[in-house]
């Protein structure tokens, strides 16, 4: 018998316990579905014969800037972290009343241009003008293919693996804050620095496709793309999916001074803001030097931030001493956006 809680949900991901309960119902049984709804795994894996089909659905809700471009990238990222190349994309586009035809054309152009740049075909979708939204919402659906011996999941981390992080924390969140809170930040940052923060979504960028596909070639055991909830939530999801624990060096986690500065303005945790553009991965120590060299050749910054251990739980250290480590399903941006 179902019971209904009076607790009101906050913005962001569903609470972990609620989500696990809800995804327990996965429809009809199908032996071809190797990975279906599962906490910590962002894509489904379907056996289609000689290869696996990887499927992913993700919306863009925190920003309306370049929303079509965003939707393609965030969905492509998750497919790539499975070791697959993103190939097909379709969308559900929801526009509020009073949207202009020019605005609609802009979203379609962003999707078309971005998919062409990434070699992805647009396969269809749905469009609607509705009072259910107050600004455009793009819900993406990305498909890709991977050879059966090249599949990587979030649940493959093994004890003694290194935990590696590419780029820096909060790339996407910093850019969104700079775009959505321009008036408040201009007096703190100045025009040129504010523009630099806005452009982080392009440089270093929110795509992890190059590093994910490169990592898949070098024997990584798990990969995860931290989105809502940031690096902190991404690490928790990876640990939970793999049923292992992590020991983290918080001082080793790269955070741009610009990100720290903006987060200080709004009293936000930089490890808790949406972090598309960063890739989390685990890899045996013996394989790391080769991957590190490959990253260096492609000018991809990467840093070891911890290790994997058998016991569950996340232990964090700063300055060589135990330090608190918190994560939340609610992204820090939800506090102010």
What does the pLDDT look like over 133-183, one tens digit per residue?
Answer: 999 999 999 999 999 999 999 999 999 999 999 999 999 999 999 999 999
Confidence of residue 4 (pLDDT cuts 50, 70, 90): very low
The yes-or-no verdict on residue 305 having pLDDT over 70 is yes
Confidence of residue 294 (pLDDT cuts 50, 70, 90): very high
Residues 6+ apart with CB under 8 A from 28: none
Query: What fold characterizes domain 31-150?
Result: 60s Ribosomal Protein L30; Chain: A; (3.30.1330)
**What is the predicted pLDDT for the residue at 138?**
96
Which residues does residue 55 pair with via DSSP β-bridges, in sequence order? 44, 143
Judge contact between 305 and 161, C-beta under 8 A. Answer: no
Q: Give residue limits of the domains in the chain.
A: 31-150, 162-335
Q: List, as one string, the DSSP characters of 55-123.
A: EEEEEE-S--TTHHHHHHHHHHHHHHTTTPEEEEEEEEEEE-TT--HHHHHHHHHHHHHHHHHHT-EEE
Please give the Cα distance from 117 to 134 (Å, whole number). Answer: 30
**What region does 58 belong to: left with phi over 0, alpha with psi -120 to 50, or beta?**
beta
> What's the order of all strands across the beta sheet hosting 137-147?
33-35, 44-47, 51-60, 137-147, 85-95, 121-129
Count of alpha carbons within 13 angstroms of residue 258, beta-carbon side: 21
Please give the Cα distance from 284 to 261 (Å, whole number). Answer: 35
The yes-or-no verdict on residue 26 having pLDDT over 90 is no
Average pLDDT of the residues in 294-298: 97
Gyration radius (Cα) of the chain, Å: 20
Average pLDDT of the residues in 238-260: 97
Judge contact between 39 and 28, C-beta under 8 A. Answer: no
User: In Å, what is the CA distance from 35 to each residue of 45, 51, 146, 224?
Assistant: 5, 14, 14, 15
Please give the Cα distance from 314 to 324 (Å, whole number). Answer: 10
Q: List, as one string, the DSSP characters of 213-249.
A: HHHHTTT-SEEE---TTHHHHHHHHHHHHHT-EEEEE
Please give the Cα distance from 184 to 196 (Å, whole number). Answer: 16
The predicted-structure confidence for 39-63, as pLDDT tens digits, reads as follows 888 899 999 999 999 999 999 887 8
Instruction: Tell me which of 3.40.50.2000, 3.40.47.10, 3.10.20.740, 3.90.650.10 is the CATH number of domain 162-335.
Output: 3.90.650.10
Q: Which of 192, 74, 219 is nearest to 141 (CA)?
A: 74
The yes-or-no verdict on residue 1 having pLDDT over 50 is no
Please give the Cα distance from 314 to 173 (Å, whole number). Answer: 23
Q: Which of 336, 198, 191 is nearest to 268 (CA)?
A: 336
Q: Inter-axis angle of helices 171-180 and 182-189, to 10 degrees?
A: 100
User: In Å, what is the CA distance from 243 to each residue of 97, 115, 238?
Assistant: 46, 35, 8
pTM of the model: 0.92
Bridge-based pairing state of the strands 44-47 and 302-309: unpaired
Residues 6+ apart with CB under 8 A from 245: 239, 308, 309, 310, 311, 312, 313, 314, 315
Q: What are phi and psi of 109, to 5 degrees?
A: -65, -40
Do the domains 162-335 and 31-150 match in fold? no
Q: Which of 50, 118, 316, 84 is nearest to 223 (CA)?
A: 84
Confidence of residue 6 (pLDDT cuts 50, 70, 90): low
Bridge-based pairing state of the strands 51-60 and 280-283: unpaired
């Amino acid at each position: 018998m179902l019971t209904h809680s009076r607790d009101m949900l906050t913005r962001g991901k569903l609470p972990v316990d609620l989500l696990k309960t809800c995804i327990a119902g996965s429809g009809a049984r199908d032996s071809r579905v190797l990975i279906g709804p599962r906490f910590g795994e962002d894509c489904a894996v379907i056996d289609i014969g000689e290869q696996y089909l990887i499927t992913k659905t993700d919306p863009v809700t925190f920003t309306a800037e370049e929303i079509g471009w965003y939707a393609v990238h965030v969905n492509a990222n998750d497919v790539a972290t499975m070791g697959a190349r993103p190939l097909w994309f379709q969308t559900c586009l929801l526009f509020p009343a009073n949207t202009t035809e020019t605005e609609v054309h802009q979203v379609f152009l962003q999707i078309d241009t971005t998919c062409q740049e990434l070699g992805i075909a647009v396969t269809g979708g749905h469009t609607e003008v509705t009072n259910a939204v107050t600004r455009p919402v793009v819900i993406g659906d990305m498909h890709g293919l991977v050879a059966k011996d090249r599949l990587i999941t979030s649940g493959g981390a093994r004890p003694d693996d290194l935990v590696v992080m590419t780029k820096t924390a909060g790339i996407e969140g910093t850019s969104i804050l700079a775009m959505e809170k321009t008036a408040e930040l201009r007096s703190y940052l100045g025009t040129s620095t504010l523009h630099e923060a806005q452009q982080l979504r392009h440089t270093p960028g929110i795509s992890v496709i190059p590093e994910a596909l490169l990592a898949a070639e070098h024997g990584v055991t798990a990969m995860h793309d931290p989105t809502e909830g940031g690096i902190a939530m991404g690490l928790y999801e990876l640990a939970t999916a793999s049923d292992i624990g992590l020991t983290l060096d918080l001082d080793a986690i790269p955070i741009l001074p610009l990100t720290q500065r903006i987060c200080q303005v709004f009293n936000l945790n930089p490890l808790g803001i949406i972090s598309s553009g960063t890739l989390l991965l685990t890899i045996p120590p013996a394989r790391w030097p080769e991957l590190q060299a490959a990253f260096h050749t492609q000018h991809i910054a990467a840093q070891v931030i911890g290790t994997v251990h058998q016991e569950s739980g996340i232990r964090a250290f700063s300055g060589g001493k135990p330090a608190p480590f918190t994560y939340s399903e609610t992204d820090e941006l939800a506090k102010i956006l």
